[in-house]
């Protein structure tokens, strides 16, 4: 059902030129990419981008510039309508959607080519594979498309008032149109509903499969977005006397946005090929509209001063207002300042200059406003609709009205305050450079859900400026680069290594009892609370003794308790949860920091020690570049719906069980080596949503080192009147990675595992190989 | 050049100084504002409609209410299996949201037409009472809120549980207000709206629950003290029983039971109208006080028949034994009553038996196109697991799909009010012959059962064994009223709660009653074809070991051993749940546990119910 490879091609062309008064630039790009879906559901992504720029000197003091761009993307896919591969993730993810419930022993097609139906065996009582979704995949009559057009037009007028002072205004108009349509058709299959036969034969289809989300309809979705961004500011830049340099800006900025969407869905598609509302003649199931808008206004100013590049000073500030906050809380002032000192420019540095060619110290203090809440967040909206399940008069569905969840009335800007100290050093004529930065970032009044409220409140807790965070970290970079002449040809090579790390703690949150179910002061972001284990029981007797003395069935082992006798008891190979607080019960206690029961912090899901290596080399027209990137420390607790990790432990009909899976499970075979197991005793469904227990036994290290990119190129030694330059290259992305996670599974990429939105390890990273040619005329 | 710049500067400073605040106001364009809402009748109506859909049960809930009288072969309830835990999710923001919505409307109702305003306040009071009655029924003590809680109102959020007596007193007061404010009849679709009678009927239901719960749990961990004073009112089991009798008494005699026979499911109305009442597409309006509407055209549908079929929902022999013989005498007066065959069970019984459980000669609601007569249907083990298939609510097969039932669902009917009245009076020891004539005999009259001449004085031995905790000066009457209630209100969502309030919770577990025992099978009836309904066709073939030759339908060839068993091993009552071994915990199981996370969130202001260990330190 899936393709192993995804071919793609990309073409770029650029033209530029002009006179002293007028300059132009135009470019075009085309991208074609086939997706993972195979068979009749093949997904194809097309993208075209066009850009044209022109600027002209209207008068000696006035310049006009225009920049127009258009991008069109077009994504087409067959099969189940919600499985939109362009986002890679809808509901439960595309791979899960198609492969759940499809055992390797189920054949998708009958011998005559019709789609097989499995009565009474699947999630739905009678369905083609996987509740009809895989069926829709194979059937191919269901088809969907998503087309986006993005327009941007920027006009800029620059007036030179006098030497050093400019006045600049620019207005950008942005528009986005989206049109998506979905044709969902029930899957034709060979099940004969009347005679209850699974296989009709002779290419005949017996019935149509429908269920809650797979049925006959056509849906059209239209969206448009209008945006206007304007800036007007003075810019001043002047040198004075002996090395004084001053630059300043002062201006205003305005942003206005409106987005609106309409959805129509009608039943009864008349066509297997066309997806238009006119091609449907059934009931209109859905007709809805949404409108959203915001507006911001800001004033900003900045003054820079430096003397001979030796002493540098900058002071700036923004005063921003946003429609997302209620009256009286709309405006925020965000000042910043920084200073630098290049010691290596001082006279006392002269003796050192031969060794330390550059030395600079930087300090800065900056504030930034953040308004990440929904557009109408502070409005308590009252909405109306129809109750699908209630009627009074038998003629119409009953209408209803409801109010949005209550909101905090004093919502305002979140402020990020950064303090930074840095040093830049250059040695041996700047061939060796070292940059180091240490920073503290305080997030004040973070916009987040406030304290968890008891359910008697009857609504979700409102978002407030509820929390403060402090992040501390550093970034280091060291590089060596040189360009010697070797064998009469200039050579260039350079290597750079970087390392960065930061940790974030919560410094304010309204949680007086320090409940672990919400944030608490002192919590490090990413901390994973879980149980500690002592490996697995070696014998049934050991397990029975544990079961006698420690109560674990109402919590961590409830999945085992719920199994059929005699397997509803602890046995050899089951996990030994440690009773940390010695109360003979394994539980979460009060679930507070003081009384956490038997849980403790077993790991942290945030990446630590981000590092990278980059190397470039060129000589004789050849060029080579490599880029490695990695994370030094990161823990990952697989989520229950990551069935590629859990297999039958989580889901009882997994479709994907690696051939070496059982080697990683505890084995009851006499003499089996159980010292390196990843999974405990084989028991179905102990890692389901209801049963999975976070413990150090399951915790995986997701540290990794990845070869992100390798490029080899050769510039042909040709130069003619027409042809300026021609280069051919080969490039490979994501060529390999090293990770301790490979010990558990080589099918889950550590980076995908830890960033996947739905925790189900959705769309895998692709290895990309490309071959290309750059020609300049 | 300066001419160009100056307007820009002016514009920028004008925006900055004069009206930045208003300039940055962007209001939602596709919604209404709460400030101006709640002024017109239409607005109040829309808001109140959500109470109906959020709070009222739907027929599907009946398919989850296993008790001792009926059960499913697919699963038992958590109460019966002992699997309720303090982490259960039946207490969520969503379950408390309806209360917030009710109080929100009470606080914001600003309709200037006083009649309209009052009417909708009445709706609010009705639903708040229903909300709290159901909470008390499940959790006992519960915090009472008569206003919207603010997100920073810690005192409210961490409010300790109010005593159940206080909350039920508030429920009584709300229902009194609802009775005052609600109309007797709504101008249109009256039976689908809450009315004065609905308020009275709910009051009798809630007060009877609290009165009997207090009476039968007095002195236990659940009701340590019966007599208490709240807001100057002395409450007790007697107080609530009086409230129940008084509220029901206002309705007794004002309505009629349904006696129609339009579908001709039997010749005589007495053999048909009880069954017909529950499969009417549109609720009738004399007996029905309040109903939930379903409609085929709007696709407002339910799946009760589908659930019943899927679950093989069946009545227990215990339930069947409640039905009197047609002469008004109890079944144990008949010789060999404990080993009656399926056929004999249905002979000369209260006509409601064959209108509730599929008996010999059962006619489907479906009409045969050719003969224009009702179709017959063979008893099928695809629809029962013990032989006593429930046919109450079952209309024609066109309505037995997962979501294709469209029969209206009676939520409150007159017969319940009559039974509430009689029971409250009997529990108070004040039941008179005249009371019986106005209540029990009215119900019996519909089905042609002989009237009860006077208040009974000798307790029926079988009923006494079924309700060992029944007590009071009029115990014999109490037992007969319980029999009548079990028969008349079978499978209407009352049984589990009745058993809990009567202190008979232990009998809800399958272990205590033999696990939904069904039809009697003699030892020589195993391994041979059985013609249960004596129509000449083989209906059932039970066997152990390997299957012999049989003419019974494939679905009715049942292997005994695992799953299906006979109560005495080689003979006895056919059942499916004999292996269930949960034993009732008398000091814990009458109430549900308070969720542990809510207790920690409220800093232990919410205490745990007796007997439940949630692992918390307080």
Distance from CA of A88 to the nearest CA of B (A): 30
Residues in chain A within 8 Å Cβ distance of B27: 376, 379
The nearest alpha carbon in chain A to B22 belongs to A327
Task: Return d(Cα A294, Cα B296) in angstroms, integer.
Answer: 44
User: Which among B20, B193, B298 has CB closest to A391?
Assistant: B298
What letter would DSSP give residue A109?
A: B
- Of the candidates A159, A297, A394, which has its C-beta nearest B293's C-beta? A394
Q: Could you give the ipTM of this predicted complex?
A: 0.89
Of A382, A512, A590, the CB nearest to B617: A590
Per-residue pLDDT of A432-482, as tens digits, reads 999 999 999 999 998 887 788 899 999 888 888 889 999 999 999 999 999
| 8 Å CB contact of B615 and A587 | yes
Q: What is the pLDDT of residue B7?
A: 44
Q: What is the pLDDT of residues B540-598, one digit of tens each?
A: 999 998 899 999 999 999 999 878 999 999 999 999 888 888 899 999 999 999 998 89
CB pairs under 8 A between A and B: 198
Please identify among residues 328-347 of chain A the ones whose CB lies closer than 8 Å to any CB of chain B. 328, 330-331
pLDDT digits (tens, 9 = 90+) for B419-445: 999 999 999 999 999 999 999 999 999
Compute the distance between CA of residue A333 and CA of residue A321 in angstroms, rounded to an integer: 9
What is the reported pLDDT for A539? 94
Could you give the CA distance from residue A453 to residue B100 in angstroms, rounded to a whole number?
14
pLDDT per position as a tens digit, B57-100: 988 888 778 899 999 988 888 888 887 877 666 788 889 999 99
- Cβ distance of B43 and A401 shorter than 8 Å: yes
Peptide bond between residue A566 and the one before it cis (omega within 30 degrees of 0): yes
Quote the tokens at residue A263: 């959805």
Query: Could you give the 3-state DSSP secondary structure of residue B46?
Result: helix
Chain B residues inside the 8 Å CB shell of A232: 8, 12
Q: Which long-range contacts (CB under 8 A, 24 or more apart) does B32-36 make?
A: B32/A381, B32/A382, B32/A383, B32/A384, B32/A401, B33/A379, B33/A380, B33/A381, B33/A382, B34/A380, B34/A382, B34/A403, B34/B108
% of chain B residues with pLDDT over 90: 78
- List, for chain B, all residue ranges whose pLDDT scores fall below the cut of 50: 1-11, 14, 17-18
* Closest Cβ opposite residue B295 in set A295, A391, A585: A391
**What is the overall mean pLDDT for chain B?**
92
Q: Which residue of B has its CA nearest to A511?
A: B601
| Average of per-residue pLDDT values in chain A | 87
What pLDDT sits at residue A105?
63
Q: For residue B280, which residues of chain A lie inside 8 Å, CB to CB?
A: none
Supply the pLDDT for residue A174: 95
What chain A residue is nearest to B21 in terms of C-alpha separation?
A: A327
Residues in chain B within 8 Å Cβ distance of A383: 31-32
Interface contact flag, B293 A391, Cβ < 8 Å: yes
pLDDT computed for residue A724 by the predictor: 82
DSSP assignment letter at B145: -
| Domain limits, chain A | 8-308
Task: Flag if B615 and A455 touch (Cβ within 8 Å).
Answer: no
Residue of A nearest to B193 (CA): A392
Distance from C-alpha of B504 to C-alpha of B479, rounded to nearest angstrom? 13
Please give the structure tokens belonging to residue A289: 């509209």
Whether residue A161 lies within 8 A of chain B, CB to CB, comes out as yes
Residue A356 CB contacts under 8 Å (≥ 6 apart), including other chains: A344, A349, A425, A426, A427
Residue of chain A whose Cα is closest to the Cα of B603: A513
Across the interface, of B49, B58, B104, the residue whose CB is closest to A399 is: B49
pLDDT at position B17 is 47
Helices vs. strands in chain B: H and E counts, helices first? 23, 14
Tell me which of A120, A230, A253, A455 to substitute to probe the interface with B (most B C-beta atoms closer than 10 Å). Answer: A455
- A10 at interface of B, judged by CB pairs closer than 8 A: no
What is the rounded CA–CA span in Å between residue B173 and residue B162? Answer: 16
Sequence-ordered list of residues with C-beta below 8 angstroms from that of A733, at least 6 positions apart, any chain: A708, A709, A766, A767, A768, A769, A770
pLDDT in tens, B508-542: 999 899 889 999 999 999 999 999 999 999 999 99
Is-contact B395 B365, C-beta < 8 A? yes
Contacts of A169 in chain B (CB under 8 A): 8
Query: Residue A118's pLDDT is what?
Result: 66
To the nearest whole angstrom, how far is the Cα of B616 from the nearest Cα of chain A? 5
Q: Which of A400, A587, A592 sits opposite B600 (nearest CB)?
A: A592
Of A492, A470, A379, A373, nearest to A419 by C-alpha is A470
Long-range contacts of B465-472 (CB under 8 A, 24+ apart): B466/B318, B466/B321, B466/B322, B466/B507, B467/B502, B467/B504, B468/B504, B469/B216, B469/B502, B469/B503, B469/B504, B470/B502, B471/B216, B472/B426, B472/B427, B472/B429
Q: For chain A, which ranges sit under pLDDT 50?
A: 85-93, 121-126
Question: How many Cβ atoms sit within 10 Å of the Cβ of residue A671?
Answer: 5
Interchain proximity B157–A591, CB inside 8 Å: no
Q: Among B8, B21, B601, whose Cβ lies nearest the Cβ of A452? A: B601
Beta bridge partners of A262: A222, A289
Main-chain dihedrals φ then ψ at residue B527, nearest 5 degrees:
90, 5
């Amino acid at each position: 059902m899936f393709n192993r490879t995804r071919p793609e091609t990309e073409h770029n062309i650029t033209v530029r030129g002009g006179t002293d008064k007028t300059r132009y630039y135009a470019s075009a790009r085309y991208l074609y990419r086939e997706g993972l879906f195979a068979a009749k559901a093949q997904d194809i992504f097309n993208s075209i981008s066009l850009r044209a720029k022109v600027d002209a000197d209207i008068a000696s003091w006035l310049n006009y510039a225009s920049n127009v761009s258009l991008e069109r993307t077009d994504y087409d896919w067959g099969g189940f309508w919600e499985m939109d591969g362009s986002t890679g993730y809808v509901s439960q993810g595309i791979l899960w959607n198609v492969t759940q419930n499809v055992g390797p022993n189920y054949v998708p097609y009958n011998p005559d080519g019709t789609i097989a139906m499995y009565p009474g065996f699947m999630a739905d009582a009678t369905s083609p594979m996987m509740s009809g979704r895989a069926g829709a995949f194979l059937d191919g009559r269901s088809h969907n498309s998503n087309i986006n057009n993005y327009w941007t037009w920027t006009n800029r007028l620059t007036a030179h008032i006098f030497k050093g002072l400019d006045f600049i205004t620019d207005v950008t108009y942005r528009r986005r149109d989206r049109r998506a349509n979905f044709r969902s058709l029930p899957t034709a299959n060979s099940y004969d509903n009347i005679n209850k036969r699974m296989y009709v034969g002779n290419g005949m289809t017996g019935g149509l499969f429908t269920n809650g989300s797979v049925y006959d309809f056509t849906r059209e979705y239209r969206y448009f977005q209008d945006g206007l961004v304007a800036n007007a500011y003075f810019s001043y830049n002047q040198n004075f006397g002996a090395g004084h340099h001053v630059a300043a800006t002062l201006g205003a900025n305005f942003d206005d946005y409106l987005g609106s969407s309409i959805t129509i869905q009608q039943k009864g598609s008349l066509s297997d090929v066309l997806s238009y509302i006119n091609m449907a003649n059934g009931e209109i199931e859905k007709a809805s509209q949404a409108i959203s808008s915001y507006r911001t206004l800001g004033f900003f100013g900045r003054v820079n001063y430096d003397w001979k590049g030796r002493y540098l000073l900058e002071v700036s500030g923004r005063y921003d207002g946003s429609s997302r906050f209620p009256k009286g809380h709309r405006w925020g002032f965000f000042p910043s300042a920084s200073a630098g000192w290049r010691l290596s420019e001082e006279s006392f540095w002269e003796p050192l200059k031969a060794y330390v060619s550059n030395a600079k110290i930087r300090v800065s203090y900056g504030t930034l406003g953040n308004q990440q809440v929904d557009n109408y967040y502070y409005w308590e909206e009252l909405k109306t609709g129809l109750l699908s399940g209630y009627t009074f008069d038998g003629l119409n569905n009953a209408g209803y009205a409801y109010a949005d969840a209550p909101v905090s009335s004093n919502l305002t800007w979140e402020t990020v305050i950064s303090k930074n100290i840095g040093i830049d050093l250059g040695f041996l004529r700047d061939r060796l450079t070292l940059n180091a930065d240490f920073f503290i970032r305080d997030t004040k009044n973070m916009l987040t859900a406030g304290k968890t409220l008891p359910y008697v409140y009857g609504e979700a807790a409102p978002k407030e400026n509820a929390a403060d965070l402090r992040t501390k970290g550093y970034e280091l970079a060291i590089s060596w680069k040189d360009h010697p002449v070797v064998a009469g040809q200039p050579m260039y090579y350079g290597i750079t290594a970087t390392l960065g790390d930061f940790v974030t703690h919560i410094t304010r949150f309204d949680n007086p009892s320090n409940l672990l179910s919400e944030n608490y002061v002192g919590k490090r972001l990413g901390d994973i609370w879980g149980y500690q284990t002592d490996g697995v029981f070696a014998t049934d007797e050991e397990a029975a003794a544990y079961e006698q003395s420690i109560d674990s069935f109402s919590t961590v082992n409830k999945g085992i308790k719920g199994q059929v006798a005699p397997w509803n008891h602890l046995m050899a190979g089951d996990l030994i949860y440690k009773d940390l607080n010695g109360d003979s019960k394994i539980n979460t206690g009060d679930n507070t920091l003081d009384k956490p029961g038997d849980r403790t912090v077993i790991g942290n899901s945030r990446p630590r020690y981000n590092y990278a290596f980059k190397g470039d080399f060129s000589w004789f027209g050849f060029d080579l570049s490599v880029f490695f990137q990695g994370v030094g420390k990161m823990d990952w607790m697989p989520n229950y719906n990551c069935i590629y990790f859990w297999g039958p432990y989580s889901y009882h009909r997994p479709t994907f069980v690696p051939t070496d899976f059982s080697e990683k499970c505890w084995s009851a075979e006499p003499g089996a080596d159980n010292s390196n197991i990843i999974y405990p005793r084989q028991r179905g469904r102990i890692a389901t949503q209801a049963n999975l227990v976070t413990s150090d036994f399951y915790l995986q290290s997701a540290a990794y080192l990845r070869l992100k990119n390798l490029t080899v190129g050769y510039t042909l030694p040709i130069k003619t009147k027409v042809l300026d330059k021609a280069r051919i290259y080969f490039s490979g992305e994501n060529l390999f990675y090293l990770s301790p996670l490979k010990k558990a599974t080589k099918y889950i990429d550590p980076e995908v595992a830890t960033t996947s939105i739905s925790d189900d390890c959705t769309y895998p990273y692709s290895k990309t190989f490309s071959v290309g040619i750059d020609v300049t005329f | 050049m300066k001419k160009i710049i100056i307007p820009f500067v002016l514009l920028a400073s004008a925006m900055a100084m004069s009206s930045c605040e208003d300039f940055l106001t962007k209001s939602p364009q596709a919604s209404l504002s709460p400030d101006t809402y709640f002024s017109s009748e239409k607005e109040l109506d829309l808001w109140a409609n959500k109470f109906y859909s959020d709070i009222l049960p739907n027929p599907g809930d009946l398919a989850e209410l296993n008790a001792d009288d009926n059960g499913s072969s697919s699963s038992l309830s958590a109460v019966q299996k002992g699997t309720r835990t303090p982490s259960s999710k039946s207490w969520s923001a969503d379950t408390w949201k309806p209360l917030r919505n009710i109080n929100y409307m009470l606080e914001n109702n600003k309709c200037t037409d006083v009649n309209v305003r009052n009417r909708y306040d009445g709706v609010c009071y009705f639903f708040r009472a229903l909300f709290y009655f159901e909470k008390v029924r499940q959790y006992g003590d519960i915090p009472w809120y008569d206003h919207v809680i603010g997100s920073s109102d810690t005192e409210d959020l961490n409010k300790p549980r109010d005593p159940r007596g206080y909350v039920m007193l508030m429920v009584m007061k709300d229902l009194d207000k609802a009775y005052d404010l609600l109309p007797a009849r709504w101008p249109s679709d009256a039976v689908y709206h809450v009315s004065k009678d609905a308020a009275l009927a709910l009051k009798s239901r809630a007060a009877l629950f609290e009165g009997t719960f207090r009476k039968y749990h007095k002195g236990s961990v659940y009701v340590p003290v019966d007599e208490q004073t709240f807001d100057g009112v002395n409450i007790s089991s007697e107080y609530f029983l009086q409230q129940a009798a008084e509220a029901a008494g206002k309705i007794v005699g004002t309505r009629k039971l349904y006696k129609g026979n339009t579908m001709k499911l039997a010749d005589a109305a007495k053999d048909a109208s009880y069954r017909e009442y529950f499969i009417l597409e549109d609720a009738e309006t004399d007996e029905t006080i309040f109903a939930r509407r379903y409609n085929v055209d709007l696709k407002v549908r339910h799946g009760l028949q589908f659930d019943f079929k899927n679950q093989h929902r069946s009545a227990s022999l215990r339930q069947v034994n409640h039905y009197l013989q047609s002469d008004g005498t109890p079944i144990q007066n008949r010789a060999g009553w404990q080993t009656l065959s399926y056929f004999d069970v249905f002979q000369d019984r209260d006509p409601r038996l064959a209108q509730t459980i599929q008996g010999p000669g059962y006619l489907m609601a479906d009409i045969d196109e050719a003969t224009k007569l009702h179709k017959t249907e063979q008893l099928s083990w695809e629809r029962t697991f013990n032989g006593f298939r429930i046919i109450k609510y079952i209309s024609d097969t066109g309505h037995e799909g997962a979501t294709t039932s469209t029969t209206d669902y009676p939520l409150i009917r007159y017969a319940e009010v009559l039974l509430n009245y009689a029971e409250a009076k009997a529990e108070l020891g004040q039941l008179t012959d005249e009371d019986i004539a106005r209540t029990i005999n009215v119900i019996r009259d519909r089905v042609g059962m002989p009237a009860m001449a006077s208040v009974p004085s000798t307790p029926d031995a079988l009923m006494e064994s079924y309700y060992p905790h029944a007590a009071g000066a009029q115990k014999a009457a109490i037992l007969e009223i319980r029999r009548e209630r079990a028969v008349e209100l079978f499978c209407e969502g009352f049984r589990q709660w009745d058993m809990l309030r009567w202190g008979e919770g232990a009998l809800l577990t399958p272990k205590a009653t033999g696990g939904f025992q069904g039809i009697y099978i003699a030892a020589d009836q195993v391994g041979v074809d059985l013609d249960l309904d004596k129509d000449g066709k083989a209906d059932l073939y039970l066997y152990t070991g390997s299957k012999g030759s049989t003419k019974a339908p494939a679905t009715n060839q049942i292997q005994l051993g695992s799953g299906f068993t006979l109560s005495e091993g080689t003979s006895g009552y056919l059942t499916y749940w004999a292996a269930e071994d949960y034993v009732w915990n008398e000091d814990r199981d009458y109430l549900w546990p308070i969720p542990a996370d809510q207790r920690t969130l409220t800093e232990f202001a919410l205490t745990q119910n007796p007997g439940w260990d949630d692992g918390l330190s307080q």
